[in-house]
Amino acid sequence: MKVTVSQPSLAHGISIVSRAVAPRSTLQVLSNILVASDEGRLRLSATNLELGITSWIGAKIDEEGSITVPARTFGDLVATLPMEQVSLTLDNQTLTVRCGTSVTEIKGIDAQEFPPLPAPDPSHGIQINTADLKDMIQQVVFAASTDEARPVLMGVLLSLTDGQITLAAADGFRISERKAALAQAVSQPLSAIIPARAMSELARLATDADQTVTMIVTPQRSQVIFRLKDVEVVSQLIDGNYPDYRQVVPRSFKTRTVVSTSSLLKACKQAEIIAREGSNVVRLNIKPAGELQPGTVELKAQTEETGANENNVEASIEGQPLLIAFNVKYLREVLDTIKTPNVSLETGVSNSPGLIRPVGDDQFIHVIMPMHLG
């Protein structure tokens, strides 16, 4: 192999695929990055057997070839090189990296030992706008569980029906669901559970809002592939049955509170500073308007160790007054993903879940379980 590539492009490509490198593995090759020529471009790949990321970068290919080299060594070296052309040459499983006056030899492992990544047929894929998919992921992925005892809930449920895509995540304390229309209907309904980590990586890589993502789900191989312009993400699917979260979504409410998203978010951030030292409890005293008083939501957080915080936010309230407590971290996390100026909170009684919706956007709902008021 003999390849010439610019240092910024190479460093960027390494930073993309390094997220899939196995930090500790009994297979040494999983700590390596595959460096290979590929139809006039340089292909970098890394995998931990659950997640695989490939990046293609422009390069001058004088001789074809491939090798795997230790990710940390290769990445740290390239990061220190000047922003000039880098020459990569391969001889007897040793990659020589030349740039300016620097010459470094890195011992590698035969590319044949690297686990093969699938070569999907893009014609079988589903096209999704990159910006839409990124928004969808960001509005659900934070609600996925981190409890390894419940692996199914560590994933995001993907459902495809007719001309619609739905993503949902839940951890037993909250549920996030986001829908979007597809440009073309799918031939048959499909559902799959994708690890939340893979979805987070995809959202991080989906930077070009004008592009589309091609998604290829292969249940028989228990894999999903997302192909962007110069990057491909491959993930194993999570086996199991996702719980019917729809049964938990409230169908009615006694109080509907509409409030400025930014005002409520700011109040939650202040309350969290106090509440995080305890159990993250914030009390919401929802007070409908009186004859001379506007409707308000009074937020209170108090811990013995830190002190207390109180905030009043003006609101438009229909229905009954209510005192209810939520995990303020959960409230803040969902409000952080809502882009509409106003948000609604639909509640029943103090021990029933609340339903959060962006006002004017019926594609997103978030269910949050109440906390004990004691």
* Nearby residues of 218 by Cβ (< 8 Å), 6 or more positions away: 118, 120, 224, 225
CATH number of 122-246: 3.10.150.10
Bridge partner list, 169: 176
Mean predicted lDDT score pLDDT of the chain: 94
Listed ranges 19-23, 27-31, 138-142, 288-292; the one with the highest mean pLDDT: 138-142
* Residue range 2-113 in CATH 3.10.150.10: yes
Where are the CATH 3.10.150.10 domain residues in the chain?
2-113, 122-246, 249-368
Residue 117: per-residue pLDDT: 84
User: Which architecture, in CATH terms, is 249-368?
Assistant: Roll (3.10)
Residue 204: C-alpha distances to residues 160, 218, 232 (Å)? 23, 23, 13
Output the pLDDT for position 226.
Answer: 95
Output helix, strand, coil percentages for the chain, rounded to the nearest 5.
25, 45, 30
pLDDT of residue 23: 81
pLDDT at 120 over 80: no
User: CA 49, 35, 231 angle in degrees (round to 5)?
Assistant: 65
State the pLDDT at residue 57: 96
- pTM for this entry: 0.92
pLDDT at residue 4 greater than cutoff 70:
yes
Q: What is the pLDDT of residues 182-234, one digit of tens each?
A: 888 788 888 999 999 999 999 999 887 778 899 998 877 899 999 998 999 99
Tens-digit pLDDT profile for residues 46-78: 999 999 999 999 999 999 999 999 999 999 999
